[in-house]
Amino acid sequence: MKILSSFDTDFEKKVIAEEVRKYGDKVFVIHKWKFFLWLHVVAPALFLILWFVLLAVGLALIDINDTLKVIVNVIIVIVMLTFVYYGYSILKQYIDYLMDFAVITPEQIINYNQTGLFSRQGRTLDVDKIKTITVGKEWILRSLFNFGNIIFLSEWDTSSRWDIELYFIDDPDSIKKKILRVIETTRVRHPDDVKKEENK
């Protein structure tokens, strides 16, 4: 479904098809883990709906007289605005889950981040410019459920300006190994590595 140029649900298929045409089976696609959907979309949505229903039932049970009508109307407006605000936030997380992805090829790391209905960001990092690939699991829940972030730092990286970070990845250590298998096939060696080999 294509609503706008920056909101195309077939965009991922088109990108992958193009990369597969160029590199064959040496293309690896990464998505957010399914637990992200439960933690950031389903649970907040259920909580928001439950809170809304309980408040509506509570207001229905109150005996509203003329003096309380103004207060109740103000509360209803605030509740509706809150519902819309947090509802959009949950929708944004759902869009992130559905449409954010990264493509690993032997030559490039390409990360696409759908930042809303009207915008999408694409970031590319050449494989021969990668300095390190790091796995981050700073949070106790990440260690328990074995998910985390994968960070690509380039040789030009200063203050994380040139890095790519993939969030909420299931089993990031094994994903890192798969990435390395793809990119090592054509990766250009770093000049420092060449010098080390020559000095041996």
Alpha helix segments (H runs only) across 137-189? 140-145, 172-183
pLDDT at 194 over 50: no
Q: How far apart are CA 9 and CA 2, in angstroms?
A: 6
pLDDT at 7 over 50: yes
The whole-number pLDDT of residue 197 equals 45
Helix (H, G, I), strand (E, B) or coil at 65: coil
Helix (H, G, I), strand (E, B) or coil at 114: strand
pLDDT at 183 over 70: yes
At 126-180, the pLDDT tens digits run 998 888 899 988 777 777 888 999 999 887 655 555 589 999 999 999 999 999 9
Cα–Cα–Cα angle for 165, 166, 172, rounded to 5 degrees: 115
The whole-number pLDDT of residue 76 equals 80
Query: Residue range 75-81: average pLDDT?
Result: 84
Task: Please tell us whether the domain made up of 2-32+100-188 is placed in CATH 2.30.29.30.
Answer: yes
Domain ranges for the chain: 2-32+100-188, 40-95
pLDDT at 20 over 90: yes
More confident of the two residues 48 and 116? 48
Q: Name the least confident of 36-50, 64-78, 184-198.
A: 184-198
The whole-number pLDDT of residue 91 equals 92
Q: How far apart are CA 75 and CA 69, in angstroms?
A: 10
